[in-house]
Amino acid sequence: MRIYEQLWGEAVTAFELGRPQVDLHLPGKTNDRRRGVSLIFRLPAEVQTRIQSFLDSLARDLPGQYFYQQEELHVTVVTLISATELWRQEIGDVKAFRGILNEVLSHHPPFQLEFRGVTAAPNAVLIQGFPRDDTLEKIRSELRRIFAQRGFANRLDRRYPNSAAHVTAVRFCKADADWKRLLAILQANRQTPFGEMSVETLQLVWGDWYASANNLRILEEFPLPKPAPPPGSKASLPFTIDRR
């Protein structure tokens, strides 16, 4: 996926120069009042475990940075209210957002993803996700179109348009680190497999910038409808009892 290669190139330059982007809100994020609303999906336990194993190893070479907890690992589909301190000015729109989400998501089926390899941005380490088809792309495209039609143009993904299916796993909060060592570790894991999943439910969540487990609230869940079996298939035949 092109976006992963673009981010990787930017990260390589930053790490080689020893100039990563450090998040000044970390590690003291208890004073961070930024909140927002996003549509996300979570990872299955087996994928979480494989990513956690990689992060445990990475933490030994990158002490003092911000590592996501296993249960916090997720993929953002779209951001509806960007995480800022002004979130209260827009939170009243969530009721309308729910109606749009129910409308759009009611006709998009579950979809498959593979998590393979790592990439990085100048401020983070990312796990690469690769959708098996264009369902995720169609969901994002239709949501942007319907939101615009309903008077919410330019509300989704105001920080940057979500176009990938990555998992943010590490953020940098300490400039003093062996960045060339990090680069070597990430390079060695560019194709490491982390597993596959079927995305069957999306969650509308409210939380902080980092989707911290202690701040996150699930506002609604949206099960994706499974396709009806084709006419004449065994699954569509009525159940009968042989009374002979």
Say which CATH number the domain at 145 has: 3.90.1140.10
62, 66, 70, 74 alpha-carbon torsion, rounded to 10°? -120
Span 175-202, mean pLDDT? 97
Q: Let me know if residue 91 belongs to a domain.
A: yes
State the chain's mean pLDDT as an integer.
90
Count CB-CB contacts under 10 A for residue 86. 12
Domain span at 96: 2-236
Confidence of residue 233 (pLDDT cuts 50, 70, 90): low
| pLDDT, position 225 | 95
Who wins on pLDDT, 164 or 73? 73
The tally of domains found in the chain comes to 1
| pLDDT, position 229 | 67
Span 109-126, mean pLDDT? 97
Confidence of residue 29 (pLDDT cuts 50, 70, 90): confident
Q: Let me know if residue 95 belongs to a domain.
A: yes
Q: Let me know if residue 166 belongs to a domain.
A: yes
Q: Is the peptide bond before 27 cis (omega within 30 degrees of 0)?
A: yes
Q: Let me know if residue 241 belongs to a domain.
A: no
Span 144-155, mean pLDDT? 87
In this structure, of 31-40, 138-147, 188-197, 226-235, the range with the lowest mean pLDDT score is 226-235
Q: Let me know if residue 242 belongs to a domain.
A: no
Cα–Cα distance, 181 to 177 (Å, whole number): 9
Alpha helices by DSSP H, listed for 62-173, are 94-105, 135-149
The angle at the Cα of 128, spanning 125 to 134, to the nearest 5 degrees, equals 145
Q: Let me know if residue 128 belongs to a domain.
A: yes
| pLDDT, position 27 | 76
Determine phi and psi for 80, rounding to 5 degrees.
Answer: -95, -40
Measuring CA to CA, how many Å separate 174 from each of 25, 68, 96, 184, 227? 11, 15, 40, 19, 48
Output the six-digit token pair for 113: 């993803």
Q: Which residue has the tokens 């990513």?
A: 51
Who wins on pLDDT, 201 or 242? 201
Q: Let me know if residue 13 belongs to a domain.
A: yes
Who wins on pLDDT, 232 or 130? 130
| pLDDT, position 237 | 43
Residue 234: pLDDT above 80? Answer: no
Residue 238: pLDDT above 50? Answer: no
| pLDDT, position 152 | 87
The side-by-side arrangement of strands in the sheet containing 201-207 is 74-84, 35-42, 201-207, 217-223
| pLDDT, position 133 | 95
Residue 159: pLDDT above 60? Answer: no
Cα–Cα distance, 238 to 100 (Å, whole number): 35
Q: Let me know if residue 188 belongs to a domain.
A: yes
Residue 160: pLDDT above 90? Answer: no
